[in-house]
Amino acid sequence: MRNGLMGILLQCNKAIARCSGKIAGRYYSAGTAKPELTSIRYKTQRGPYAMVTDADVRFFESLLGSSHLITDPDECESYNIDFAKTVRGASQLVLKPTSTEEVSAILKYCNEQRLAVCPQSGNTGLVGGSNPVFDEIVISMKLMNKILDTNELTGILTCEAGCVLQDLDNHLSTVNLMMPLDLGAKGSCLIGGCVSTNAGGLRLLRYGNLHGNVLGVEAVKANGDIVDALNALKKNNTGYHLKHLFIGSEGTLGIVTKVSVQCPPLPKAINVAFLGLTSFDKVLKTYYLAKRHLGEILSSCEMMDRLSIDVSINNLGMKNPLTSREDGHEFYMIIETAGSHLVHDEEKLSSFVEKAINDDIIEDGTMTNESKKLEAIWGLRERISEGVLRDGYVFKYDISLPLLSFYKIVEVLRKEIRDSRIVRISGYGHLGDGNIHVQISIPEYYEDVAAQLEPFIFEYVSKCQGSISAEHGIGFKKTKYLHLSRSSSGIEIMI
């Protein structure tokens, strides 16, 4: 066990840390150097937990088989380091269970032996929640990747926690369904980590968050007890809704092993508009117009500032579909519609874009429903996290703010944090749910730059009545700032 969602929780006899899952694992930083050990960078002390012994390794080998555990230091490295190379643990043992029963046996043994564990999903998180801080045993969920049932009539999918989000979407498309969740990390993140962090993503505007789409979960508590709350009924008012405790709990209450998800029908028609604008005020006006003009077919509304798009264009060599301004636009938006009538939806979106131009809200725009062009436009947005890592080290902040304050955090940072080593301060995010991703890139990690950013950013967000974590959770990095988004009474209930 180690520092996690709630400090006091770490003193109890649970041996659970956190699960995670977001931002594609294929992303990498410009450098190849290992990050400093998390315990050193964050000056953290190891808890009173036992060290892994040869006898422990033999037990796990007898339980899982030699092919389902890793002890080689080089092979353990990818589990110790996050995708952005901001944290590094020192685990010497990775376990790869293939069933709920194996997870149960692992946790029961670890709890009895006081061995610390770190559940890991796709290792795509931003807050250090899926990586060990010290020598915790990593429990990788990647081999628990079976799709257990797909009901085309009800639209309910039941699967194990280790299924890759993109694989689930591909599977569902064969029966004209899709996942209600879409992330830039869909090729790497696992559904168990998404549930454990209550991931939001690109489709939240249309389909809501996972509290509304997950019908049931199966999870294993720290003592090895299996909690079967996998019931896929849409109405079940018999006591507490246990699924909601595990959704977003980041593994502190147990490891999610199975989920049942309500999946919407696959849209027959997808149209996208890519827009260029001069100010954030006009971004808000465009969003307001889109909600009223597009109504029920509006599925996504994304905002990116110029510096965010620049990393996809300049660092990754992608093309800007809008060429009316050589130096680009100050802001960009992606507006997507999803419906059942291609011509009707296309006409509706075209009418919206035309009105926005005539009202002098947007400078330029392009529309498409061609698959390759759709992929190219969404790629500009989805690969921002990859592109910015080419700058060097990146401080990433996943926060939510009231819409009127949505972009002010970026403007405030550019004004207050004047450091010549900073390459860029940029922001992009989901207008539909108030979630902005702020990125500050520098050539390498500097402790004094970190001190300028934290707790300044979190305190500013708190003053604006926002949240210090919109969809990536608290993890390891934000634990000491939890009080800025939760009341003391709320934290008391959680611990």
State the CB neighbour count (10 A cutoff) for residue 340. 11
Cα–Cα nearest to 253, from 8, 11, 494: 494
Residue 206's SS3 state is helix
pLDDT over 60 at 286, yes or no: yes
Same domain flag for 346 and 445: no
- Give a yes or no: residue 7 inside a domain: no
- Give a yes or no: residue 2 inside a domain: no
Domain of residue 257: give its range: 147-262
- Give a yes or no: residue 255 inside a domain: yes
- Give a yes or no: residue 13 inside a domain: no
Cα(313)–Cα(299) distance, rounded to whole angstroms?
A: 25
Average pLDDT, the chain: 91
pLDDT of residue 231: 87
Question: Which has more confidence, 24 or 454?
Answer: 454
Same domain flag for 395 and 378: no
pLDDT of residue 32: 56
State the CB neighbour count (10 A cutoff) for residue 366. 16
pLDDT over 80 at 25, yes or no: no
Average confidence (pLDDT) over 411-420: 94
Residue 318's SS3 state is coil
Give the domain CATH number at 358: 3.30.70.2190
**Residue type, position 64, single letter:** L
pLDDT of residue 324: 80
Same domain flag for 423 and 374: no
Same domain flag for 131 and 151: no
Same domain flag for 380 and 487: no
Angle between helices 408-416 and 456-463 (to 10 degrees): 140
**Domain termination site, one of 95, 114, 140:** 140
**Domain termination site, one of 363, 386, 409:** 386
Would you place residue 257 in the very low, low, confident or very high pLDDT band (cuts 50, 70, 90)? very high
Same domain flag for 60 and 133: yes
Give the domain CATH number at 162: 3.30.465.10
pLDDT of residue 3: 38
pLDDT over 50 at 152, yes or no: yes
pLDDT of residue 430: 94
pLDDT tens-digit profile of 28-56?
344 557 899 999 999 999 999 999 999 99
pLDDT tens-digit profile of 88-133?
999 999 999 999 999 999 999 999 999 999 999 999 998 999 999 9
Give the domain CATH number at 95: 3.30.43.10
> Residue 357 CA to chain centroid, in angstroms?
34
Same domain flag for 381 and 395: no
Task: Output the DSSP codes for 80-133.
Answer: HB-TTS--B-----EE---SHHHHHHHHHHHHHHT--EEEESSS--SSSTTS-S
Residue 244's SS3 state is helix
Cα(153)–Cα(158) distance, rounded to whole angstroms?
A: 14
Task: Output the DSSP codes for 245-260.
Answer: HHTTSTTSS-EEEEEE
Residue 401's SS3 state is coil
Residue identified by tokens 């269970």 is 97
pLDDT over 90 at 18, yes or no: no
- Give a yes or no: residue 16 inside a domain: no
Would you place residue 142 in the very low, low, confident or very high pLDDT band (cuts 50, 70, 90)? very high
**Domain termination site, one of 337, 353, 386:** 386
**Residue type, position 246, single letter:** F
Average confidence (pLDDT) over 362-371: 96
Average confidence (pLDDT) over 202-220: 95
Question: Which has more confidence, 72 or 492?
Answer: 72
Same domain flag for 223 and 274: no
Question: Which has more confidence, 368 or 28?
Answer: 368
Question: Which has more confidence, 12 or 409?
Answer: 409
pLDDT of residue 424: 97
Q: Would you say 277 and 332 are in contact if contact means Cβ atoms under 8 Å apart?
A: yes
pLDDT tens-digit profile of 336-358?
999 999 999 999 999 999 999 99
Same domain flag for 399 and 380: no
- Give a yes or no: residue 33 inside a domain: no
pLDDT over 80 at 1, yes or no: no
Give the domain CATH number at 400: 3.30.70.2740
Q: Please tell me the total count of domains within the chain.
A: 4
- Give a yes or no: residue 25 inside a domain: no
pLDDT of residue 11: 31
- What tokens were used for 123? 């290792």
| Polymer length of the chain | 495
Q: Taken in order 452, 453, 459, 465, is the CA torsion positive or negative? A: positive
Same domain flag for 291 and 308: yes
- Give a yes or no: residue 131 inside a domain: yes
Same domain flag for 98 and 128: yes
pLDDT over 50 at 9, yes or no: no
Same domain flag for 64 and 130: yes
pLDDT of residue 290: 97
